[in-house]
Structure 1
Amino acid sequence: MVLQVGAKALKKRRDELKVSAESVEAHSKDDAATAGLLLFYAAECGLKERILFRRGLRDTAGLEPTHDLRRLAKDLGLPPAMHSALNRLGSCRLHSPAGASIALADLHQAWHYGAKLDGDSEREAKAALRALITWCERD
């Protein structure tokens, strides 16, 4: 069963998750994964809230259940300036000799399960997530 959530709840949760991510980063420099996960879900909530608003939908019942931020952004028709943020998210790499890339739709899983990410790549991904959140706040 998929939980159905309204736009107001998504917007509130976006804001709560963003604040929580900032708090984690301020108080625990060694916990980049938790901050990244919170930012990912804040961006997801923000994008879904904007889709509901633009489509005039009451809740997420009319949306396909997904964590794919690229798909959500495509549904919104983000402006060209936001495409660079999405491109940065698509190039997040694991911290390993091979440095395998992580698909944007799977980035939350990497943070969720504690996969070690390349430091620069992780910083870029978090900056991109913040850019998406800011866009949602201003849209």
Structure 2
Amino acid sequence: MINPPAMALRRRSEELFASAEREKPHDSDSAALLLFYAAECGLKSAYMLQNNLKYTDEMRGSARSARSFSHNIVALIQALNISRSSVKPVPPVVTVRLGLNGTPAVLHEAWRYGEKIQDTNAIYDWLKSLLEWCKKNR
């Protein structure tokens, strides 16, 4: 299993962000998926640095491993104690085809499998605000 250090996650977050920005004019869903993964990597990197963890599977004291968060960026936001005023509010996650309400944890899966999400642009902006927080809190 791949077990990257925090700096590798930070670098990958920046690469994915750049790719998302290049893709956005062509395919907003693909861009949003890339941005989701960029935010996930950035938040995990920040969590690891905050808790002095060298690798994603490492635990220390009361800090759980970054890997244990899987794709749950909301749990990472809570673990990092990111205040609501520091980032944009979480927009509703509603699938177009089924009209189902969901949480941000399902976004990567929905976009990966081609499910359309209502107001992808608002979610993109929220994810971008998370990356901005990561850059400010290195």
**Normalization by structure 2: what TM-score?**
0.87
Task: Choose from 121, 124, 130 the match for 2:122.
Answer: 124
Q: Following the alignment from structure 1 to structure 2, what is the Cα–Cα distance between the partners of residues 23 and 80?
A: 28
1:71 alignment partner AA = A
**Number of equivalent positions:** 129
**Displacement after TM superposition at 1:128 (Å):** 0.3
1:54 pairs, out of 50, 55, 63, with: 50
1:94 aligns with: 95
Identity %: 32
Gaps of 5+ in 1: none
Q: Deviations over 1:82-103 (max 9, x none)?
A: 4653x32xx111114x621122
The equivalent position to 2:131 in structure 1, one of 124, 130, 133, is 133
Give the drift of 1:10.
Answer: 0.4
Matches within 5 A, 1:1-139: 2-26=1-25, 28=26, 31-62=27-58, 63=65, 64-82=68-86, 84-85=88-89, 87-88=90-91, 91-96=92-97, 99-118=99-118, 121-139=119-137
Any runs of at least 4 consecutive aligned residues in structure 1 with deviations exceeding 6 A, and if so which?
Answer: none
CA RMSD for the aligned pairs? 1.5
TM-score by length of 1: 0.86
Displacement of 1:65: 4.5
Q: Structure 2 unaligned runs (5+)?
A: 59-64
